[in-house]
Structure 1
Amino acid sequence: MTVRTRILLILLLAFASGFFALERWLSLELRPRYYQSFEEPLVDTANLLAEIAGREFDRPNPNFDSLYDAFERVYRRDPRADIYGLHKNNIDIRVYITDRQGIVVFDSHRKAVGQDFSRWRDVHLTLQGEYGVRSSPTDEILQRRDDREAGSVAYIAAPILRNNDLVGVLSIGKPKINVTQFILTAKRDLVWAVAGVAMLALLTATMLYLWFSRPLYQVAQFAERIAQGETLATPDLGDNEIGSVARAIAAMRQALDGKNYIERYTQTLAHELKSPLTSIKASAELLLEDMPPAQRQRFIGNIQAENERALNLIQRLLELAAVENRQGVVEKKPVVLGELTDEIAASLQAALLQKNLALEIGGDISITVTGERFLIKQALFNIVENAAAFSPIGGRLVIDVLSEADAVVVKVRDYGPGIPDYAQARVFERFYSLPRPGAQNRSSGLGLSFVKEVMELHRGSVSLTSSESGTEAVLRFPA
């Protein structure tokens, strides 16, 4: 499992845990708090009404006609109250009074007079001198919310005392449907509020995740591609710990490459220079002896040719080394390909005339690519020079510049003998070369390696396709 995946899973787990904790808090804490605020004023109201109704117990036969009249008038009232979104247009409390035996002597709903309520918790506990309260279901209230408490009524009882003697119980009932509506509204509002905060937190966490994981992914990709031997510019990841890791990887790669590079090229240069130096030494030793002038001149020409070969080899090695040691294109400027083809044609004019070659330039030569002009010109020059070297006398070369959907393509075609099948897989290897028609010596074998390095440096590619009718080189630059 990658570090990025672990970070994402931890974030998701944290948010899931947070929402679960919120749901539990809303279920276990919010509801009791609302019912506490609902029950507390009922206690005051019950005790107040108990004191008022207690006066009737001063008479042998309590008479509650005036209290009935009062409740009838109260029930006809329309409060027209708007309580935080709750439109209250009726009075929904119920009051009943029992004597000291628990027999109902007054009921504001006129339904339970004469019934024995001594076993109901509110009455029973109050007659025992304790706090009496109960919650009972009712079918008389239309349930407006799908909630287990919405169809019940809370009853709060208070003792009726006369001269410190408990003579009865007054109990006041209040439906829970309204407070349940408050709870559901508060829960909905809290959920929306927390959801908004959670979305903001999730957005912030996502930005932090991307800020941290994307550079980490870039560093991992950079290290992986470096390990595969690709030439890459060090990604700019800022002045932070991740950026420091990327720069450290690049510095380590440069140090290791530098050591390996020197060792490899020292061995290669020594191996490749051994042949011309041996030839020069042998020719020089023979020149110390007496010989005919013609033979002497032949050995002098051999020394000059081998010396030229050694110098060319060293120059090509230096050019290839300069390209391979780069971590990115130094200059990124528009380069008009038509200008390069004209300059290359002028540079190769003598070689073209020597073999009577016709150079044809076609396509859209006004197309531009982005990169380092000098390197692109050298790469294209090597391709065209190579094609001219393998072209027959009196033949022709064709350069086409094309624009595709995702690339700019330069095609260079010759009509020479083509590349043998056994050599096609090795033409881009360093120091691998084929004998050129009409020439005694091979080339350095570094030209196509140079072209390959330049194209990779520009995020492009080079390929060769060959047949008996000629060879076509394709340089593909990203659009």
Structure 2
Amino acid sequence: MTVRTRILLIFLVTLGSGFFVLERWLSLELRPRYYQSFEEPLVDMANILAEIAAPEFNQAAPRFDKLQAALTHVYARQVNADIYGLKKNDVDIRIYITDRAGTVLFDSYQLDVGKNFAGWRDVSRTLQGQYGARSSPNDKRMHGIEQRESNSIAYIAAPIYRGNDIIGVLSVGKPKVTVSHFIMAAREDLLWTVLGVTVLVIAIATMLYLWVSRPLYQAAQFAERIAAGEPVSVPDLGRNEIGTVVNAIDAMRKALDGKNYIEKYTQTLAHELKSPLTSIKASAELLLEEMPAAQRQRFIQNIQSENDRALNLIQRLLELAALENRQGSIEAQTVPLAELLDEIGGSLQGTLERRSVSLNLDNPITFSVQGERFLIRQALFNAIDNAIDFSPDAGRIHISGYADEDWLVVSIRDHGTGIPDYARERIFERFYSLPRPANRGRSSGLGLNFVKEVMELHQGRVELVSHDNGTEARLKFPQRG
């Protein structure tokens, strides 16, 4: 798992945990706050009704006919109230009154008159001069706090005084189903709000994370491609810490490449130039001696040949060095291949006539490719020049172009000896070359390597295919949509 993935997972887990804790805390705080707002008006009602009921205790046998009649009419009312989504159609308040012994003297539901409620918490605590309240479930079979609370009745009691003496208790009962409705609705709204905010925050945070981590990912990819030795351009990551690191890596890469480049090419050039220089030196020393004119002419030609070989090697090394110094950048333009091949054919006319080799264009190449004209010309030139080297005198070279799936292909085929099996894996290696037919020596071994570098720089490829009577070089350029 990558570092950026771990950071994202830790961030999401932390964020989700935080919102979960927030939701649980709000839910736990929500319930008592709603019950406070539910219980507080019942306290007021109980105390008001206690004062109204107090005069009835002046009689030897208190009667509450007027209160019962009023409540009977109240229970028959059609309220038709819409309270924030709660449809309320009737009054569900229950009132009962006890004497100082806890005996029920009045019950608005007319269920428990004559029973002793002295043991009930609302009555017993009120008779003791304390705040009396209780909650009793309608159905004792209910399980879970939410079921019990939503199916229970809250009773709030108030003392009935004669002077300073408590002579009775009035309790007001109210089902909790209404407040439970509000709690559940509020919790649902809260849950959806928290969920919506969580999703929004996660989306924004993820976008912010990607915005911040993408440059880090690009920097890692840049470093990996450098380590793999691939040609790569410096990504533009802006003026920030990551951009500074990438620029520093690129500067370090250039410094190391420059050092390695000089060391490598100095060694290579010294090694490759040693042979022609040794030959020139030996021929020059022999020319100082007396010898027949024909032999002298042969040594002079050898000096010229080895000098040309050394100059060709230096030229190819310079071309390859210039190519590698581009570091993946090219000046892209539309390059018509037919025009380019005509130009190359003109440049090689002298060589073709000297060897009596003919260039045959099997079919007109009508397509163009995207890239740098100079480099594509050099690649095609090297490929055709290589085909000429391996063609027999008076041979033919066939050039054709065609589209192949995602590629635009230029095919260059000679009728030489082909590629030996032992050389197939090394044919594109730098400084690796095969002997030319008719004892024409070897090349610098840089031509095909140069072609490969140019094609890779253009996101293309080069392939050498051996046939029974020759070799085919296929230069594949990517088709641009």
TM-score by length of 1: 0.94
- Structure 1 pair 266–380 and aligned structure 2 pair: CA distance change class (3 A): same
Secondary structure of the corresponding residue to residue 20 of structure 1:
helix
Secondary structure of the corresponding residue to residue 149 of structure 1:
helix
- Structure 1 pair 125–47 and aligned structure 2 pair: CA distance change class (3 A): same
Q: Distance in 2 between matches of 1:67 and 1:15?
A: 58
CA RMSD of aligned residues (A): 2.1
Q: Distance in 2 between matches of 1:359 and 1:396?
A: 6
- Structure 1 pair 170–232 and aligned structure 2 pair: CA distance change class (3 A): same
Partners of 2:330 and 2:457 within 8 A in 1: no
Partner residue in 1 for 2:399 = 399
- AA aligned to 1:446 is L
Q: Distance in 2 between matches of 1:470 and 1:291?
A: 43
Structure 1 segments (4+ residues) deviating >6 Å = none
Q: Distance in 1 between matches of 2:192 and 2:139?
A: 33
1:246-265, Cα deviation, whole Å (9 max, x unpaired): 22111111111110110110
**Structure 2: runs of 5 or more not aligned:** none
Q: Distance in 2 between matches of 1:446 and 1:27?
A: 77
Matching of residues 48-447 of structure 1 within 5 Å:
48-139=48-139, 147-361=147-361, 365-447=365-447
- AA aligned to 2:162 is R
Deviates more, 1:29-38 or 1:365-374: 365-374
1:259-304, Cα deviation, whole Å (9 max, x unpaired): 0110110011111111111122222222222323222222222222
Q: Distance in 2 between matches of 1:33 and 1:432?
A: 87
Matching of residues 441-460 of structure 1 within 5 Å:
441-460=441-460
User: Number of matched residues?
Assistant: 477
Secondary structure of the corresponding residue to residue 291 of structure 1:
coil
For residue 195 of structure 1, report the CA deviation from its aligned partner: 1.5
TM-score by length of 2: 0.94
- Structure 1 pair 338–76 and aligned structure 2 pair: CA distance change class (3 A): farther
Secondary structure of the corresponding residue to residue 279 of structure 1:
helix
Secondary structure of the corresponding residue to residue 168 of structure 2:
strand
Partners of 2:216 and 2:242 within 8 A in 1: yes
Partners of 1:403 and 1:409 within 8 A in 2: yes
Secondary structure of the corresponding residue to residue 221 of structure 1:
helix
Secondary structure of the corresponding residue to residue 10 of structure 1:
helix
Q: Distance in 1 between matches of 2:52 and 2:368?
A: 101
Q: Distance in 2 between matches of 1:148 and 1:454?
A: 81
- AA aligned to 2:76 is R
Secondary structure of the corresponding residue to residue 150 of structure 2:
coil
Partners of 1:273 and 1:310 within 8 A in 2: yes
- AA aligned to 2:254 is Q
- AA aligned to 2:9 is L
Q: Percent identity?
A: 66
Q: Distance in 2 between matches of 1:287 and 1:78?
A: 134
Partner residue in 2 for 1:3 = 3
For residue 10 of structure 1, report the CA deviation from its aligned partner: 0.8
Q: Distance in 1 between matches of 2:396 and 2:6?
A: 62
- Structure 1 pair 241–293 and aligned structure 2 pair: CA distance change class (3 A): same
Partners of 2:27 and 2:187 within 8 A in 1: no
**Structure 1: runs of 5 or more not aligned:** none
Partners of 1:126 and 1:158 within 8 A in 2: yes
Deviates more, 1:457-466 or 1:351-360: 351-360
